[in-house]
Amino acid sequence: MLVLFVVYHVFWLELLLLYRSWFGTDERHTDQKQYDVYLSYARHSEEEHFVLFTLRSVLENQLKYSVCIFDRDSLPGGTITDETLAFVALSRRLLVVVSPGYASRGSQALLELQAGLAAMAGGRGLRVILVQYRPLRRQAWVRELRRARLALVLLRWQGDESRDLTSRFWKRLRVELPVRRLSGGEAQGEAQGEAQEELGLMRMLSQNSSDSQTGLVRDANKDQQRVLNSAA
């Protein structure tokens, strides 16, 4: 009995992932959503590079999740507010990368967070997950995050210690994400497709660096109340 207790205590994440792979329900068969994960982060920040080239790369290329990144997947000509609400509504998880500049007033990240929290509270098949890329004082969190923190999962990135797919960070994140069965071939990914994706994201990152985030969400800032009313 003691041996079983020790094994469970040490390997509970592995056992949980194994159980999910055998008996978990694939949400793609039970809902009409288009994306597994919507990535929400502060533009023009250190975290942006982490999101695009680490989180996004592993989620899409190794874990085979369908990921929505607004700056990449939105179509020209649409309104920021409407497209943000639509993307969040079509996603099963909202992955929020918390940073000092996240969700400042009038930012698109704040719209994403508010829409996600409203959808989660309304039971619309979406869950919000927090990722802390670097140490952050609680005082730096926006009010919405401070209020919801007790009900949300917070995962901390530990630098090089978290980079390997077998690290505790990725195992805990996989527990919170929709169920997926991985094969050896899937885990390797397609090198050519990954290279093309990296080039596209580098161009997007460069474009973001030259744009103003305030300008990007000019329309959204005027429609804050409409977002909350629509998402509620």
pLDDT digits (tens, 9 = 90+) for 96-147: 998 877 866 668 898 999 999 999 999 999 999 999 998 887 777 778 888 8
Number of separate domains in the chain: 1
CATH number of the domain to which 220 belongs: 3.40.50.10140
pTM of the model: 0.75
- Residue 18 in any domain: the answer is no
The residues that bridge with 95 in the sheet, in sequence order, are 39, 129
Closest CA to 54 of 172, 189, 163: 163
**In this structure, is residue 44 part of a structural domain?**
yes
With bands split at pLDDT 50, 70 and 90, how would you rate the model's confidence at 46? confident
The pLDDT value given to residue 203: 60
Question: What pLDDT score was predicted for residue 217?
Answer: 41
Q: How confident is the model at residue 201 (pLDDT cuts 50, 70, 90)?
A: low
Put residue 156 in one of left, alpha, beta given phi > 0 → left and psi -120 to 50 → alpha. Answer: beta
pLDDT of 158 over the 90 cut: yes
**Is the pLDDT score of 161 beyond 70?**
yes
173: alpha, beta or left? (left if phi > 0; alpha if psi -120 to 50): alpha
Domain range enclosing 71: 36-180+190-231
Q: Is a pLDDT exceeding 60 seen at residue 181?
A: yes
141: in domain: yes
Residue at 17 is within a domain: no
Name the CA radius of gyration of the chain, rounded.
18
Active site residues: 112
Would you say residue 127 lies in a domain? yes
What is the model's pLDDT at position 101? 75
